[in-house]
């Protein structure tokens, strides 16, 4: 499916999100604060847009790698790298079996990809494994907005998204599938629970973007000594949850989008 949508993927992203996805990616990198000259792995990188944002942030002495199992996506990412002069290494590979030793990177990221892998928890575990202790795992993924936005967003994603996605890429079925996976995938605190359940993170933060259309999740990788079951402190959905013996903390912040 991803091979079929690859040729029109960038155009569809821009049309369907009204250009917002670029803002979300910039916001994601700013939230993550990768070290200057640091190393970043972007998993399920697709055509590489998040990897390019990280490249700008880490500077010319940094190293950014994008990995995806879909060859046509990777080919497009490489072509964009050549055209833009933003030097990112793009490789074919599986998010569930990353071919790097433990602690290789400062940051691992994934944008709109974690809901598409067969085993999201394993993907998070793999991402955390290849990041050094104290490094970060960043996830950008769709949510399901609530309140006033809920109904218009549901209508837009059910009626407009598959039709426009179909016109732009010629693959209406694929955009219907992507909409359904986004609607069913856990978001907000429920996704943060999955991150915590890996036992890999000593801190998980959640940021809502554009009224809950998308979310950012940032996990700080623990040193392995504090690996344990998820912490439960305070009521679900609380603005900020903290306190557990090991100091796991989850904070939710409004994003300026």
Ligand X SMILES: C[S@@+](CC[C@H](N)C(=O)[O-])C[C@H]1O[C@@H](n2cnc3c(N)ncnc32)[C@H](O)[C@@H]1O
Q: Enumerate binding residues for ligand X (CB under 6 A).
A: 2, 44-46, 49-50, 68-70, 73, 94-96, 111-113, 116-117
Q: Whose Cβ is closer to ligand X: residue 112's or residue 215's?
A: 112
Which one, 71 or 243, has the nearer CB to ligand X?
A: 71
The least distance separating ligand X from the CB of residue 49, rounded to whole angstroms, comes to: 5
Cα three-residue angle 67-94-55, rounded to 5 degrees: 15
Q: How far is the CB of 129 from ligand X (least distance, A)?
A: 15
Q: Based on CB atoms, which residue is closest to ligand X, 49 or 208?
A: 49
The torsion of the CA quartet 92, 15, 149, 241, rounded to 10 degrees, works out to 30
The half-sphere exposure of 67 on its side-chain side, counting CA atoms within 13 A, is 18
Comparing CB distances to ligand X, the nearer of 195 and 202 is: 195
101 contacts 79 by C-beta, under 8 angstroms: no
Q: Which residue has the tokens 């996990």?
A: 219
Tell me how far, at minimum, the Cβ of 115 lies from ligand X, in Å.
8
Cβ distance to ligand X smaller for residue 98 or 220: 98
CB of residue 66 vs ligand X: minimum separation in angstroms? 8
Measured from each CB, the residue nearest to ligand X is: 46
Burial of 60 (0-12, 13-18, 19+ CB in 10 A): exposed
Smallest distance from ligand X to CB 140, Å: 7
CA–CA–CA angle 42, 158, 46 (5° rounding): 15
């Amino acid at each position: 499916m991803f091979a079929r949508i690859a040729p029109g993927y960038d155009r569809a992203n821009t049309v369907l999100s009204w250009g917002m996805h670029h803002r979300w990616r910039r916001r994601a990198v700013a939230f993550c604060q990768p070290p200057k000259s640091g190393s970043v792995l972007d998993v399920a990188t697709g055509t590489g847009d998040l990897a390019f944002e990280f490249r700008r942030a880490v500077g010319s002495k940094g190293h950014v790698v994008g990995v995806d199992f879909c060859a046509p996506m990777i080919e497009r990412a490489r072509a964009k790298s050549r055209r833009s002069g933003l030097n990112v290494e793009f490789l074919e590979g599986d998010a569930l079996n990353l071919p790097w030793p433990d602690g290789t990177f400062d940051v691992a990221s994934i944008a709109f990809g974690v809901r598409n892998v067969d085993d999201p928890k394993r993907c998070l575990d793999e991402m955390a494994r290849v990041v050094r202790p104290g490094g970060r795992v960043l996830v950008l993924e769709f949510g399901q907005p609530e309140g006033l936005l809920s109904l218009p967003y549901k209508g837009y994603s059910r009626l407009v998204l598959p039709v426009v996605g179909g016109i732009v890429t010629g693959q209406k079925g694929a955009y219907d599938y992507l909409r359904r996976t986004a609607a069913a995938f856990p978001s907000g605190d429920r996704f943060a629970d999955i991150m915590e359940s890996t036992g890999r993170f000593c801190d998980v933060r959640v940021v809502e973007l554009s009224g809950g259309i998308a979310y950012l999740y940032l996990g700080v990788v623990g040193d392995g000594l504090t690996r344990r079951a998820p912490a439960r402190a305070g009521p679900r959905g609380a603005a900020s949850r903290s306190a557990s013996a090991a100091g796991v903390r989850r904070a939710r912040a409004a994003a300026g989008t």
